[in-house]
Amino acid sequence: MFKKLMNQNVLDMHIVSGFEMKQKAKIFEDQGNKVIHLELGEPDFNTPANITQAGIEAMNRGESHYSPPLGLLPLRKEIAKYAKNYKGIEAKTENIVVTPGAKPILFYTFLTFVNLGDEVIIPNPGFPIYKVLTKYMGATPVPLKGTEENNFRITLKDLEPLVTDKTKLIILNSPNNPTGSIIEQKEVKAIAEFLRDKDIIVLSDEIYDRLYFGDEKIISIASFPHMQEKTIVLDGFSKAYAMTGWRLGYGIMHESIAKAFNPLIVASNSNTNTFIQYAGIEAYQGPQDEVEKMKEGFKARRDIFVGGLNSIPHVSCVIPDGAFYAFPNFKWFGKSSDELTNYILENAYISSLPGSTFGVDLEGYVRFSYATSRANLNEALNRLESALKKVKS
Ligand SMILES: Cc1ncc(COP(=O)(O)O)c(C=O)c1O
């Protein structure tokens, strides 16, 4: 009965998420096997103690009431300062919208800008939510394909031919989930110049920009001339500060877009949890050495894990520039991505995500999140190598 009554667009939503794969892995754990979890995209580190303390103190002070829909003013001020220092964006508090996690910024962007029949250009490989929301709005997802030959780095040359008079929104994500690849600064500049006179909204998903392992400073596309007014920057505290469960994120956008988001927030969640926003203030005001330490930790794990993957016969993996994901190519083994993740789970007790979840033409790829201990990563590499040996023998 319910199916008949439900909105078809909701029925059509399907996401193979880390949460779903974790559930699948539980069957093997219940049988007594030690599963190594490389499916969920979250840091295994604890939230830095000073941030947790600020949240506790705010709760104890009684900061447990409704607060402004767009966020507490002191937090919006801190984010505006941060935007200048880390991203090169001249933002004021009016440009900042605080949300429970960064994902709602995606939702509000789609609800505000995307109509039936529009085209939305999305990174491929890319975060599956982009496609799901595009389809939910009755728009067409247009894959912006990064190639393994170019280390999955998107260029203007890849983007330019995809833009039509139906293009409403372009999503960029650097460093990227699931490849960890960045868009090089010269390409960001070229893309900004190409888009500066076009009536197209850009959503720049910068949730992993603090977890970039290179020397070149990452500068937001919003910092280029004429781009700030048409770009919505998505960012938050989940990944850089190991705060996935707190749910604290934000967008940086033109004041009139922030105003348009206001009623959507009032109609959905009213405001972001009030005492958690004080933890966010501490995250940006307090010492940053924990973030640096976590980043170095991820970089060391990348070197172990991706180095290990590349030493397994017939496996190749692009070296990620940032984030904590590896996206190896297992095409030689002749299995689809779903078959591969099932095979790896059943034979090596490693939980991962199929590459095909991240876009079109991605059969034969798998995404691993290497945000786990070095011991787990070494064990996973050993198990993987032994399991793969059996595939064609
Ligand atoms: C590319 C990308 N954007 C946005 C998000 C959402 O982050 P949050 O957990 O803060 O909502 C994620 C989380 O996995 C992500 O990978």
Residue 79 and residue 38 share a domain: no
Instruction: State in Å: Cα 184 to ligand 1 middle.
Output: 21
Which residue range is the domain that position 187 belongs to?
50-285
Residues 378, 301: Cα–Cα separation, whole Å: 10
Kindly state if the Cβ of 376 falls inside 6 Å of ligand 1.
no
Kindly state if the Cβ of 207 falls inside 6 Å of ligand 1.
yes
Helix (H, G, I), strand (E, B) or coil at 23: helix
Residue 62 and residue 183 share a domain: yes
Q: Which of residues 285, 306, 339 is at a domain's end?
A: 285
Counting the structural domains of the chain, the total is 2
What is this structure's pTM? Answer: 0.96
Instruction: State in Å: Cα 103 to ligand 1 middle.
Output: 6
Instruction: State in Å: Cα 332 to ligand 1 middle.
Output: 31
Kindly state if the Cβ of 239 falls inside 6 Å of ligand 1.
no
Say how many Å lie between the first and final Cα of the chain, rounded.
49
Helix (H, G, I), strand (E, B) or coil at 185: helix
Residue nearest to atom 16 of ligand 1 (CA): 177
Q: Where are the alpha helices (DSSP H) in the chain?
A: 2-5, 8-11, 18-30, 49-60, 73-82, 103-113, 128-136, 156-159, 185-195, 255-268, 274-285, 289-310, 337-348, 374-389
Instruction: State in Å: Cα 323 to ligand 1 middle.
Output: 11
Kindly state if the Cβ of 173 falls inside 6 Å of ligand 1.
yes
Compare 12 and 329 and report the one with higher pLDDT: 329
Asked whether 4 and 351 are in contact (CB, 8 A), the reply is: no
Residue 57 and residue 42 share a domain: no
Residue 255 and residue 139 share a domain: yes
Q: What is the phi-psi region of residue 305: left when phi exceeds 0, alpha when psi lies from -120 to 50, beta otherwise? A: alpha
Asked whether 392 and 162 are in contact (CB, 8 A), the reply is: no
Residue 355 and residue 305 share a domain: yes
- The set of residues, in sequence order, having a beta carbon less than 8 Å from that of 194 and lying 6+ positions away, is 156, 159, 160
Kindly state if the Cβ of 177 falls inside 6 Å of ligand 1.
yes
Q: What integer pLDDT is reported at residue 8 of this predicted model?
A: 86
Residues 276, 248: Cα–Cα separation, whole Å: 7
Give CA separation, 141 vs 41, 239, 337, in Å.
23, 26, 21
Instruction: State in Å: Cα 393 to ligand 1 middle.
Output: 40
pLDDT tens for 109-129 read 999 999 999 999 999 999 999
Q: Which of residues 241, 263, 285 is at a domain's end?
A: 285
Report the CATH number at residue 332: 3.90.1150.10
Apex CA 360: angle with CA 26 and CA 24, to 5°?
A: 5
Kindly state if the Cβ of 205 falls inside 6 Å of ligand 1.
yes
Q: How confident is the model at residue 152 (pLDDT cuts 50, 70, 90)?
A: very high
Asked whether 262 and 291 are in contact (CB, 8 A), the reply is: no
Kindly state if the Cβ of 249 falls inside 6 Å of ligand 1.
yes
Instruction: Give CA torsion, residues 298, 206, 368, 319, to 10 deg.
Output: -70
Kindly state if the Cβ of 80 falls inside 6 Å of ligand 1.
no
Q: How confident is the model at residue 393 (pLDDT cuts 50, 70, 90)?
A: low
Q: From the CB of residue 371, how many other CB atoms can be counted at a distance below 10 Å? A: 25
Instruction: State in Å: Cα 293 to ligand 1 middle.
Output: 21
Residue 216 and residue 138 share a domain: yes
Task: Please state, rounded to an integer, the average pLDDT across all residues of the chain.
Answer: 95
Report the CATH number at residue 79: 3.40.640.10
Residues 40, 21: Cα–Cα separation, whole Å: 8
Asked whether 91 and 81 are in contact (CB, 8 A), the reply is: no
Residue 264 and residue 148 share a domain: yes
Q: How confident is the model at residue 3 (pLDDT cuts 50, 70, 90)?
A: confident
**Site to substitute for ligand 1 among 39, 47, 127, most atoms within 8 A of C-beta:** 127
- The set of residues, in sequence order, having a beta carbon less than 8 Å from that of 199 and lying 6+ positions away, is 230
Instruction: State in Å: Cα 117 to ligand 1 middle.
Output: 26
**Site to substitute for ligand 1 among 39, 108, 238, 244, most atoms within 8 A of C-beta:** 238
The residue assigned the tokens 């996206």 is: 327
Residue 335 and residue 217 share a domain: no
Residue 92 and residue 17 share a domain: no
Residues 81, 205: Cα–Cα separation, whole Å: 19
Q: Which of residues 222, 257, 285 is at a domain's end?
A: 285
Residue nearest to atom 13 of ligand 1 (CA): 41
pLDDT tens for 177-219 read 999 999 999 999 999 999 999 999 999 999 999 999 998 777 8
Q: DSSP string covering 258-304, please?
A: HHHHHHHHHHHTSSS-HHHHHHHHHHHHS--HHHHHHHHHHHHHHHH
